[in-house]
Amino acid sequence: DVKVTQSSRYLVKRTGEKVFLECVQDMDHENMFWYRQDPGLGLRLIYFSYDVKMKEKGDIPEGYSVSREKKERFSLILESASTNQTSMYLCASNHRAGGAYNEQFFGPGTRLTVL
Amino acid sequence: QQQVKQSPQSLIVQKGGIPIINCAYENTAFDYFPWYQQFPGKGPALLIAIRPDVSEKKEGRFTISFNKSAKQFSLHIMDSQPGDSATYFCAASFNNQGGKLIFGQGTELSVKP
């Protein structure tokens, strides 16, 4: 059974803090993704990674960075949190083989509030 | 060109009704169109998917209708149940995008008993 876990379900931070969101998958997937989910805007891709130490910008990378030091772990970093980064953050993973036709498996999400 | 537009944003139906959620796209290179279902407090999960070489796909009570010429696709839920209440996302991709998906804006469906 595929499992994608995220380090926190709820997080409250202050403006200017450095924030780390962690994601771990147990299915040996090559690809990992970070999205943010906002009402009326759907899921927007922040960053993704095809392999260890590989990363590519998604549609809204500004204000975020990522780290992938191990295949199973993908971290999202908010260098200096701002109130407009209050959102639900979702991590997902899938196999590279088969390209787009591979199902993405999502974690339960982290609800981040920046005060 | 990379957008997928989804409507309506929210939908309320009575039990047994047939909610229909619509999506439209511009990029004719898209060749994979999945629908994801998200329950409150959970991450989205794949519900059903279609490729543009077929016009319809059914899985249980869920049907995707695909209109390639109109660049539109839709999700129909037959005999809807309160347990179908969730947020539904359409998405699109093409194979050399390396597994990336472009999601629609989401539809919050409520099925009343």
Q: Which amino acid is it at B35?
A: W
Contact B99 A99 (CB under 8 A): yes
B110 strand-pairing partners: B12
Q: Is the pLDDT reported for residue A98 higher than 80? A: no
Question: How far apart (Å, rounded) are the C-alpha atoms in residues B15 and A35?
Answer: 32
Q: What is the pLDDT of residue A2?
A: 66
Name every residue whose Cβ is closer than 8 Å to that of residue B57 and which is 6 or more positions away in sequence.
B48, B49, B50, B63, B64, B66
Question: How far apart (Å, rounded) are the C-alpha atoms in residues B55 and B58?
Answer: 11
Query: Mean pLDDT throughout B37-63?
Result: 95
Q: What is the pLDDT of residue B94?
A: 80
Query: Mean pLDDT throughout B57-82?
Result: 96
- Reference B85, options B40, B36, B35; nearest CA is B40
Task: Using DSSP, state whether B47 is helix, strand or coil.
Answer: strand
Closest-CA residue of A relative to B40 is: A108
Task: Using DSSP, state whether B64 is helix, strand or coil.
Answer: strand
Instruction: Grade residue B12 by pLDDT with cuts at 50, 70 and 90.
Output: very high
Instruction: Grade residue A99 by pLDDT with cuts at 50, 70 and 90.
Output: low
Q: Is the pLDDT reported for residue B99 higher than 80? A: no
Closest-CA residue of A relative to B49 is: A101
Q: What is the pLDDT of residues A44-95, one digit of tens each?
A: 999 999 999 999 999 999 999 999 999 999 999 999 999 999 999 999 999 8
Contact B105 A90 (CB under 8 A): no
The rounded percent of chain B whose pLDDT value lies above 70 is 96
CB < 8 Å to B43, chain A: 4, 90, 92, 106-109
A60 touches chain B (CB under 8 A): no
Q: Any idea of the CA torsion for A51, A55, A61, A63, to the nearest 10 degrees?
A: 110
Q: What is the pLDDT of residues A1-29, one digit of tens each?
A: 669 999 999 999 999 999 999 999 999 99
